[in-house]
């Protein structure tokens, strides 16, 4: 019994075979695509030559002030950590480093165990006074040695200084220089009465050992990772095989689920927009990603923009589904046939890895360009913590929270009336950097 090859093709007297003189199609859209790539490259060049990522990544101290930008910190461009060992937690980028952070003019050049030397020889305090690093409310010129020890316990002053190098405006420990001090400690040539200093310093130096251990663990587990990769490829292959039978329900359920998700997201955005519109919050001062996200999503403008963007996407997709449902049916049939082709050409399962690498490069480029674009323009400053600082007087120049300000003018005009003769700057209120006065950073 012969095989069934379907209905035979009818004779067409007008058919002359394949087209002999072939040419490129959609030349217009190819030109548009090339122009788009050129424009994208020009935007990257423009942002790189006029923007400054260093300003965007300016470090923030424990009070939320940007080093080198906020009032009183124009000359203090580097951030110093009182105990950088506490910053080695994996959650530090999200929750922030749980240690006091202050802006300094220069990172420490030498390692000095201030608490240890002061405990052993209080009479040597005058020689240590100049090297001490404390928060703004501590006056190092008038405090005594006993007060210095107390401030170190309260983390208002650094108990020890580690030789550091500036990296992106942050003072990071110089492991090679600090290793010498650790060797002296381990050999007993330095006697520390406070074991916490030894423990913290030891943990800090072991940071390079931790990195090597991570690399070693990755090498040892390479076969497990390779096996997991093979298992994922097999699962994808099985899923593609199943698509020839369930591709229709999967596609339509995915479209319906995505539309429902967009609708629910619009509802949440609208409710948050209403709430923050009726209950505005003050400016957030943050030193970590978690606080920065809170500052962005505490503004009703953010939720309004998200609501508009989601509504546009929802309407476009809904119109596409309504008017192009026949095309979607054709696409489902093509996916079903494509699943059959994959079974014949197994290497197509591995091919998506290369487009994925290219997509990662495109996303990285886009993020980098966005960062440069966000840093273009004049710096914008606003008064913060003015309501909480009842003793701050600015001679009537600055009277409201969130008022636009000039850092240099704020320093010269605002004084703490509770201090002797009003000689000290305001303890809480400051002229805070909030972004750039351009359309790229409308969220401030």
120-168 residue pLDDT tens: 887 888 888 888 888 887 888 888 888 888 888 888 888 888 888 888 8
| Winning range, highest mean pLDDT, from 86-100, 321-335, 382-396 | 321-335
365 CB neighbour count, 10 Å cutoff: 13
- Find the range with the poorest average confidence among 85-99, 245-259, 314-328: 85-99
Query: What confidence score (pLDDT) does residue 189 get?
Result: 41
Q: Is the pLDDT of residue 435 over 80?
A: no
| Winning range, highest mean pLDDT, from 7-16, 155-164, 303-312 | 303-312
Higher pLDDT, 26 or 444: 26
Q: Is the pLDDT of residue 56 over 60?
A: yes
Please give the model's pTM, rounded to 2 decimal places.
Answer: 0.54
Site of tokens 């093979």: 230
Query: What confidence score (pLDDT) does residue 266 get?
Result: 95
CA distance 163 to 365: 35
415-416 vs 392-393, strand pairing mode: antiparallel
Q: Which of 435, 428, 434 is nearest to 414 (CA)?
A: 428
CA distance 236 to 339: 11
Over range 105-118, report the average pLDDT: 84
395: left (phi over 0), alpha (psi -120 to 50) or beta: left
Residues 185-219, buried b or exposed e (16+ Cβ, 10 A)?
A: beeeebebebeebbebbeebbeeeeeeeeeeeeee
Query: What confidence score (pLDDT) does residue 190 get?
Result: 41
Mapped onto helix, strand or coil, the DSSP state of residue 165 is strand
| Winning range, highest mean pLDDT, from 25-29, 169-173, 195-199 | 169-173
Q: Which two tokens stand for residue 93?
A: 């980028």
CA distance 143 to 155: 15
Query: What confidence score (pLDDT) does residue 441 get?
Result: 41
Q: Which residues contact 345 (CB under 8 A, 6 or more apart)?
A: none
Query: What confidence score (pLDDT) does residue 65 get?
Result: 78
Alpha helix segments (H runs only) across 91-138: 92-95, 114-120, 125-129
Q: Is the pLDDT of residue 344 over 50?
A: yes
Query: What confidence score (pLDDT) does residue 194 get?
Result: 45
Q: Is the pLDDT of residue 287 over 60?
A: no
Average pLDDT of every residue of the chain: 77
CA distance 306 to 194: 53
Higher pLDDT, 349 or 360: 360
Query: What confidence score (pLDDT) does residue 262 get?
Result: 95
Q: Which helix (H) or strand (E) is 218 found in, with range? A: helix 207-220
Q: pLDDT band at 191, cuts 50/70/90?
A: very low
Query: What confidence score (pLDDT) does residue 317 get?
Result: 93
* Per-domain boundaries in the chain: 78-219, 234-351, 378-441
Over range 344-363, report the average pLDDT: 82
């Amino acid at each position: 019994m012969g095989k069934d090859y379907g209905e035979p093709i009818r004779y067409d007297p007008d058919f002359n075979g394949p087209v002999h003189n072939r040419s490129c199609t959609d030349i217009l859209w190819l030109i548009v695509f090339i122009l788009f790539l050129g424009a994208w490259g020009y935007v990257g060049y423009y942002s790189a030559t006029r923007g400054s990522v260093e300003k965007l990544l300016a470090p923030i101290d424990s009070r939320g002030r940007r080093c080198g930008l906020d009032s009183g910190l124009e000359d203090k461009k580097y951030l110093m950590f009182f105990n950088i060992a506490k910053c080695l937690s994996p959650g530090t980028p999200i929750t922030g480093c749980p240690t006091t952070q202050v802006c300094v003019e220069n990172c420490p050049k030498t390692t000095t165990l201030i608490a240890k030397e002061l405990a052993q020889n209080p009479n040597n305090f005058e020689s240590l006074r100049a090297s001490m690093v404390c928060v703004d409310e501590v006056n190092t010129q008038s405090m005594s040695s006993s007060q210095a020890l107390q401030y170190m316990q309260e983390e208002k002053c650094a108990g020890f200084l580690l030789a550091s190098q500036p990296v992106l405006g942050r003072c990071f420990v110089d492991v090679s220089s600090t290793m010498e001090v650790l060797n002296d400690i381990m050999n007993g040539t330095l006697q520390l009465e406070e074991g916490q200093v030894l423990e913290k310093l030891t943990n800090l130096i072991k940071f390079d050992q931790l990195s090597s251990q991570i690399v070693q663990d990755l090498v040892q587990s390479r076969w497990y990772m390779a096996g997991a990769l093979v298992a994922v490829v097999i699962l994808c292959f099985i899923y593609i095989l199943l698509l020839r039978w369930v591709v229709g329900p999967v596609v339509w359920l995915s479209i319906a689920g995505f539309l429902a998700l967009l609708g629910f997201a619009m509802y949440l955005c609208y409710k948050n927009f209403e709430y923050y519109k009726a209950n505005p919050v003050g400016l957030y001062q943050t030193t970590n990603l978690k606080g920065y996200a809170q500052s962005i999503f505490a503004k009703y403008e953010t939720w309004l923009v998200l609501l508009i963007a989601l509504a546009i996407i929802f309407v476009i997709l809904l119109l596409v589904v309504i008017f192009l449902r026949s095309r979607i049916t054709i696409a489902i049939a093509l996916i079903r046939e494509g699943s059959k082709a994959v079974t014949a050409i197994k290497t197509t399962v591995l091919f998506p890895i290369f487009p994925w690498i290219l997509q990662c490069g495109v996303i990285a480029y886009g993020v980098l360009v966005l960062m440069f674009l966000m840093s273009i323009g004049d710096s914008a400053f606003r008064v913060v913590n003015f309501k909480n600082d009842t003793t701050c007087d600015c001679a009537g120049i600055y009277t409201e929270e969130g008022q636009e300000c000039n850092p240099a003018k704020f320093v010269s005009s605002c004084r703490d009336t509770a201090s002797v003769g009003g000689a000290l700057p305001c303890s809480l209120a400051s002229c805070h950097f909030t972004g750039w006065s351009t359309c790229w950073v409308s969220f401030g």
